[in-house]
Structure 1
Amino acid sequence: MESEMIVIHAENAPMPGISKPGPHQRYRHPVISVEKRRLGALHADEIRVQMIYAGLCGTDVHLMESDPQTGYIRSSAPANIPETGRVIGHEGIGKVLAVGKNVRHLSEGAVVTFESIIVCHYCDVCRKGQFNQCRNAKLLGLEKDGIFGKVVDVPAMLAHDVTPIIQTDQDLQAIACVEPAGVAYVACRNTRVTGGDVVVIFGGGPIGVFAAMLCKTIFGASSVSIVEPVSFRRSFAAQWADHVYDVEAFFANMPECIDVVIEASGDLQNINRIFRNVNANGRIALLARSGTSLVLDAMDHMITNAISIIGSRGHLCGAFNDIISLYKQGRLPLHQVVTHILDGTDGFMRLVGAIDSVLYENCKVLIRFASANGRS
């Protein structure tokens, strides 16, 4: 069968003089197109899924954006864009049309949502149960064809059966957001957010908002501040934070003792600016990728106060199960982060011509590929 999919093409032109160029130093002049692709025989370990909703991530946007001077893409997340192009997208929910012969935990008709990190299970890190850092990981929609399509084939190991939870369209939209909520959840766990903590979150996009929501409602932080330069996102995020600031307003009024910093904006200079106000035994998590350097000039403060800085990637090791359970119990209103729904591939392509609206006018954007009953 054929399926309509959203594909990125880019010129593979590594920057000279860089021994191991990242994607933002390798791929340039990205072009997004809608293509009909033939789905061959279903792999034994995969499922064929009719997509219902897919979420647009900041990584997807950065894949489509390029530096106006050099033409190189903005995204530094691991990516492999072959000459034939890469189907993008890694957040979403859909209905299983068929299962491969080795798949036992899913059946036709199940509604599923997806993890986005394909792990090997046999490297030394996986064998320790640290799947987010699998040495052989492949990222859906970046290193393996993703889920921005009407019908897609997905590794069955990524799928979570959420059929019993889905009663309404609101449920579908909410569960389409489990992946970014899981990323925020792992960041909260990595920074050991607990009752009494003063938390500062840089970035009021979906992951920053989910982090604030989790810090307040699940992990019990006493104070949560979101720092965000975009006016719409500040206003939108205010319902889940105690304080919301523009960047310069925050640095003029920041708390004297900050226990946890979650950096979800990609502007790493914020870490150096806030660093001397990080409390003894403070914890800092870096989530957003920007390809830029982190520079700190207060190392004595770090040593004296035993401040920890950790990179935080992924949503594995139980985060999906916890997020789904919290939503099911009514404790995590995932759907409230959705601000706009695009109508299929046509709606997505119209957005490509006005991509800045994702940042300046929205929080989480979803693409609707079909309704729950399978109608496009």
Structure 2
Amino acid sequence: MSARPTGRQAIVLRATDEPVAGTTNPPPHQRYRHPQISLEPRGLGPLAPENVRVEMLYAGLCGTDIHLTECDRDTGYVRSSAPAHLPPEGRILGHEGVGRVLESGTDVHHLQTDDIVAFASIQACWVCDTCKQGAPNQCPEARLLGTEIDGLFATVADIPAVLALHVSSTPLADEEIQAAACLEPAGCALLACEKTAIRPSDRVLVLGGGPIGQYAALAASRRYNAAHVQLIEPLRVRRELARQWCDEVATPDQLDHALRGGVDVVLECSGDLSVLDTVFPAIRPEGRVALLGRNGQPLHLKNVDHMITNAIQLVGSRGHLGGPQAQALALHRNGILPLLAPVTGTLSSLDELAELLQDPARAVQGHCKLLIDLSAT
């Protein structure tokens, strides 16, 4: 038996805690300034009874990670509005990934050493009324992995076992391990598709061709068999990728033309809420809109009468708890939802990731989904 690790390397984010004057309970983009990324050693203390200790194999880079490391040039505040708590000692980033169980806490009985596990990113309490009513994504006591509790950008991670999704008890091919690292964003996309109840007769418009947008378009086309799926995305590399599973792909400048046929379902994955005012008049009666992208900006709609008259539903969609990740894994294994399809590159180490996050805009310009190979770190 190999010796148990006592330390690890981890990607740590620190920022100045300086809330905007006059704000109450400010979100991160109004609280944290001048983010700094470092790759540093971190010790491993005693394993908490409810946790598992995991040797990380692959992790996924998310827009939330990027937006927490980017800042406004004028104010210095981070771009992310997703819930975050960055203590003085820093936060280990990362909420998408897959690893091998090294050790289980004394209260963990459903996982064994060497099990392969992927992770949910929302730690719900599971005992409040909201959780008991079947809405753990909206748990008021929820904490987010990699932003409010330490995450997965590490060689070894101590994670609450309730977040671990058992993927396999037997060795997996490398491609299957990589696919498991993509379950978190795929689960988020599937949940949004479920919330909007996509039907085979629907015309679906996806705004934003990042990873979640790509998975949403894939699911709408191949899981829900929508009649027509179109995606709007400014970056060419992401448009070209989406052509494989979308009926139409266009730039934001071509949005008016894309709306001429009308739409039944809108999946807003870009965070640019200003576009919705243009989209709303083209939404057909009984249309459904799901908001996934965050940027902390307000939503302004001039066409509220159209929304009322046509009974258009507007919902927020956060997370993936309640089964979408397991569904995504099953769909992948059945050839319906290829989880690796949006992956356009793999970083070879935490060192390479730390260097990239010094200039996070580079992670967006030439890629869609980036994975990090942690198996040799």
Q: For the superposition of Structure 1 and Structure 2, which TM-score range results when normalised by the shorter chain?
A: over 0.9
Matched with 2:297 is 292
The answer to whether 1:78 aligns with 2:78 is: no
The answer to whether 1:268 aligns with 2:268 is: no
Matched with 1:303 is 308
Cα deviation, residue 336, structure 1: 1.7
Matched with 1:64 is 69
Cα deviation, residue 165, structure 1: 7.6
Instruction: Output the amino acid matched with 2:131.
Output: C
Cα deviation, residue 166, structure 1: 5.6
1-side partners of 2:289 and 2:103: how far apart? Answer: 43
Equivalent residues in 2 for 1:180-199 (5 A)? 180-199=185-204
Return the match for 1:126 from 123, 131, 135.
Answer: 131
Matched with 2:319 is 314
Contact 1:287/1:311 (<8 A) preserved: yes
Instruction: Output the amino acid matched with 1:35.
Output: E
Matched with 2:111 is 106
Cα distance change on mapping 1:14 and 1:353 into 2, 3 Å: closer
Contact 1:88/1:146 (<8 A) preserved: yes
The answer to whether 1:326 aligns with 2:331 is: yes
2-side partners of 1:276 and 1:150: how far apart? Answer: 49
The answer to whether 1:135 aligns with 2:140 is: yes
Cα deviation, residue 164, structure 1: 5.1
Contact 2:263/2:287 (<8 A) preserved: yes
2-side partners of 1:141 and 1:27: how far apart? Answer: 15
Matched with 2:20 is 15
SS of 1:216 mapped into structure 2? helix
Cα deviation, residue 213, structure 1: 0.4
Q: Deviations over 1:306-338 (max 9, x none)?
A: 001000001011111111111122221101211
2-side partners of 1:325 and 1:165: how far apart? Answer: 17
Matched with 2:40 is 35
Instruction: Output the amino acid matched with 2:21.
Output: P
2-side partners of 1:248 and 1:326: how far apart? Answer: 34
2-side partners of 1:127 and 1:349: how far apart? Answer: 40
Matched with 2:58 is 53
SS of 2:209 mapped into structure 1? coil
Matched with 1:367 is 372
Contact 2:115/2:170 (<8 A) preserved: no
Contact 2:250/2:258 (<8 A) preserved: no
Cα deviation, residue 280, structure 1: 0.2
The aligned length equals 372
1-side partners of 2:216 and 2:356: how far apart? Answer: 26
Q: Deviations over 1:114-143 (max 9, x none)?
A: 001001011111011111111110000010
Contact 1:166/1:172 (<8 A) preserved: no
SS of 1:324 mapped into structure 2? helix
2-side partners of 1:251 and 1:40: how far apart? Answer: 57
SS of 2:341 mapped into structure 1? helix
Q: Deviations over 1:51-107 (max 9, x none)?
A: 000000000000000000000000000000000100000000000000001101100
Instruction: Output the amino acid matched with 2:326.
Output: N
SS of 1:96 mapped into structure 2? strand
Contact 1:22/1:76 (<8 A) preserved: yes
SS of 2:326 mapped into structure 1? helix
SS of 1:240 mapped into structure 2? coil
Cα deviation, residue 215, structure 1: 0.3
SS of 1:314 mapped into structure 2? coil
Q: Deviations over 1:6-62 (max 9, x none)?
A: 000000000002122111000000000011111100000100000000000000000
2-side partners of 1:307 and 1:146: how far apart? Answer: 38
2-side partners of 1:355 and 1:143: how far apart? Answer: 21
Return the match for 1:158 from 163, 169, 172.
Answer: 163
Instruction: Output the amino acid matched with 1:296.
Output: L
Instruction: Output the amino acid matched with 2:77.
Output: Y
Instruction: Output the amino acid matched with 2:281.
Output: R
Instruction: Output the amino acid matched with 1:168.
Output: A
Return the match for 2:348 from 333, 343, 347.
Answer: 343
CA RMSD of aligned residues (A): 1.1
Cα distance change on mapping 1:252 and 1:329 into 2, 3 Å: closer
Contact 2:61/2:371 (<8 A) preserved: yes
Contact 1:165/1:328 (<8 A) preserved: no
Matched with 1:229 is 234
Contact 1:9/1:81 (<8 A) preserved: yes
SS of 2:14 mapped into structure 1? strand
Cα deviation, residue 353, structure 1: 3.7
Matched with 1:279 is 284
The answer to whether 1:205 aligns with 2:196 is: no
Matched with 2:244 is 239
